């Protein structure tokens, strides 16, 4: 059940995906509190981090030194990737992940993220630079390829393993699919067959049933959950319990749910400051209310509230509505 990266044991093999603007420090702490094998930081641009442009490092809040946390780096130049890796490793990063999977245009237009899958020779220069710069385990996240004519994840995985990468995570779509259609978990099996290092399946995994199917079709060693955790920070622990027999999480309902959401909300305000926190928190509050089938009028009031007090005063009304159905919602 465990995946070993040097002295780090990823137990259970259910991981939280890096999601820009979502898997910030408050959310990662919440997910980790329920139980997750590994959580991954939001993607950090390597050059901007090293050059210390205002706010980049502070906003990322990488959780350096935290147990079961990986720091994900992105970039297109070997020098900056290596320098960023050295910095986060020196500051306590336990695992460094290289992003070659992000499909966002603002990332791929700069020849970072999944755009690197169009030029594996160049991609390998980044991998070799990071692996050579640090002693901590280096992992890699990518897609099946750039498009249907460029399904080169198995080749990238083979070359990455030879370069020293310790684990691969594969999102079962091409870059050109973005998040459309369905993840092709069976295609991940070709990556699993190509390497001896652990392979993690990612894409459309939202509960125990989809996780079980993804593992069966891909032959992967574990799963990574991203959007499925939105509004359900306990889902990783729930999946781990059903698939790997770990202790079942206590899924909060009623007053316990209100307390959890209030705590998460307060953590976001503390982390970002009140003004920015009010804005950042809205998406998380929206996901919690989606799961609770919150009345549209109450939902609108909370999402347009101008003070934290207004939000906190209406959480009971928002989350304890008679029609609320939580736990396995999603």
pLDDT band at 50 (very low <50, low <70, confident <90, very high): confident
* pLDDT score of 326 more than 50: no
Residue 284 annotated as part of some ligand binding site:
no
Query: What's the mean per-residue pLDDT of the chain?
Result: 90
In this predicted structure, what is the pLDDT of residue 327? 44
What would the pLDDT profile of 218-276 be if each residue is shown by its tens digit? 999 999 999 999 999 999 999 999 999 999 999 999 999 999 999 999 999 999 999 99
What would the pLDDT profile of 109-161 be if each residue is shown by its tens digit? 666 777 888 899 999 999 999 999 999 999 999 999 977 888 999 999 999 99
Residue 141 annotated as part of some ligand binding site:
yes
Burial class of residue 148 in the structure, from the number of CB atoms within 10 Å of its CB (0-12 exposed, 13-18 middle, 19+ buried): exposed
pLDDT band at 324 (very low <50, low <70, confident <90, very high): very low
Residue 28 annotated as part of some ligand binding site:
no
What would the pLDDT profile of 4-29 be if each residue is shown by its tens digit? 998 889 999 999 999 988 999 999 99
Q: Which is catalytic among the residues 102, 142, 150, 176?
A: 102
Q: Find the mean pLDDT for residues 74-101.
A: 92
Residue 55 annotated as part of some ligand binding site:
no
User: Does the active-site annotation cover 176?
Assistant: no
Q: Find the mean pLDDT for residues 183-192.
A: 97
Residue 165 near residue 140 (C-beta atoms within 8 A): yes
pTM of the full structure: 0.91
95-100 and 167-174 beta bridge pairing:
unpaired
Residue 53 annotated as part of some ligand binding site:
no
Residue 30 near residue 36 (C-beta atoms within 8 A): no
């Amino acid at each position: 059940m465990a995946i070993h990266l040097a002295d780090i044991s990823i137990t259970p093999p259910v991981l939280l995906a890096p999601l820009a603007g979502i898997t910030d420090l408050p959310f990662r702490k919440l997910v980790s509190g329920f139980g997750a094998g590994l959580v991954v930081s939001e993607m950090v641009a390597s050059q901007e981090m090293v050059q210390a442009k205002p706010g980049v490092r502070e906003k990322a809040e990488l959780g350096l030194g935290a147990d079961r946390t990986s720091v994900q780096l992105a970039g297109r130049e070997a020098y900056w990737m290596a320098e960023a890796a050295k910095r986060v490793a020196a500051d306590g990063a336990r695992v460094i992940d290289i992003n070659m999977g992000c499909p966002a245009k603002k990332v791929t237009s700069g020849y970072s993220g999944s755009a690197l899958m169009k030029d594996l020779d160049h991609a390998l220069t980044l991998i070799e630079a990071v692996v050579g710069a640090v002693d901590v385990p280096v992992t890699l996240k990518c897609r099946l390829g750039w498009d249907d004519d460029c399904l080169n994840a198995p080749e990238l995985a083979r070359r990455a393993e030879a370069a020293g990468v310790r684990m691969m995570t594969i999102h079962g779509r091409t870059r050109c699919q973005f998040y459309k259609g369905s993840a092709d978990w069976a295609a991940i099996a070709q990556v699993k067959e190509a390497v001896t290092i652990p392979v993690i399946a990612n894409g459309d995994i939202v509960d125990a049933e989809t996780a079980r199917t993804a593992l069966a079709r891909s032959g992967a060693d574990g799963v990574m959950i991203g959007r499925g955790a939105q509004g359900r920070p306990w889902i990783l622990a729930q999946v781990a319990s059903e698939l790997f027999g770990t202790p079942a999480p206590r899924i909060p309902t009623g007053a316990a749910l209100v307390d959890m959401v209030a705590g998460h909300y307060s953590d976001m305000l503390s982390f970002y400051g009140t003004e920015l926190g009010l804005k950042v928190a809205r998406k998380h509050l929206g996901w919690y209310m989606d799961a609770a089938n919150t009345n549209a009028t109450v939902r609108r009031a909370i999402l347009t509230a101008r003070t934290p007090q207004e939000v906190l005063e209406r959480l009971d009304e928002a989350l304890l509505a008679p029609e609320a159905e939580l736990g396995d919602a999603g």
